Structure formats: C-alpha cells, structure tokens
C-alpha cells in the first residue's frame, strides 16, 4: 500500500459495522460508522535517526517528526 501510494486513501476510510446490540434482524443489520480513521502522508514516513542527522548535516528530518 505504501509503495503504490494508496495507503492514505485506503487507511483513511471509516470502519463500518452492524449494530451489535440489535435483537431482531431489522435492528442488527443496520450499517453505521464504528470508527472514523485519519491516515496522512506523514504516517508513511519514519524519523531519521539522530546519529545519521549528526553525521550528515545536509539531512532534514521527515515532516511530522
């Protein structure tokens, strides 16, 4: 997902689910959003190690770190 740059779109989609408290089929099979997720491009990046930053002064830290 990260390699093909689809992670932000796919992982930001909300989680849908049925009503687990429904006692009848009509109450149970009602779709609703259970969790709203947020995945940004900064979640795809990892921080650059401090030793690497000290070794090479031309490096800049990844956004969000």
Report if residue 60 sits inside a domain: no
Q: What is the pLDDT of residues 5-35, one digit of tens each?
A: 899 999 999 999 999 898 999 999 999 999 9
User: Averaged over 37-55, what is the pLDDT?
Assistant: 90
Give me 26's structure tokens: 């009509």
- Number of domains comprising the chain: 1
Q: What is the percentage of the chain residues whose pLDDT exceeds 70? A: 100
Check: CB of residue 33 under 8 Å from CB of residue 16. Answer: yes
pLDDT at res. 38? 92
In a domain, 61, yes or no: no
pLDDT band at 58 (very low <50, low <70, confident <90, very high): very high
**Range of the structural domain that residue 29 is part of:** 7-55
At 54 the three-state DSSP class reads helix
Residue pointed to by tokens 């979640």: 43
* 1 domain-assigned: no
- 44 in a domain, yes or no? yes
Contact in structure between 33 and 15 (CB atoms under 8 Å): yes
User: Does residue 42 lie within any of the structural domains?
Assistant: yes
């Amino acid at each position: 997902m990260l390699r093909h740059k689809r992670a932000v779109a796919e992982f930001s989609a909300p989680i849908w689910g049925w009503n687990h408290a429904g006692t009848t089929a009509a109450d149970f099979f009602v779709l609703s959003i259970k969790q709203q997720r947020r995945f940004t491009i900064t979640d795809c990046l990892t921080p650059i190690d401090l030793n690497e930053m000290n070794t090479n002064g031309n490096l800049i830290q990844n956004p969000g770190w």
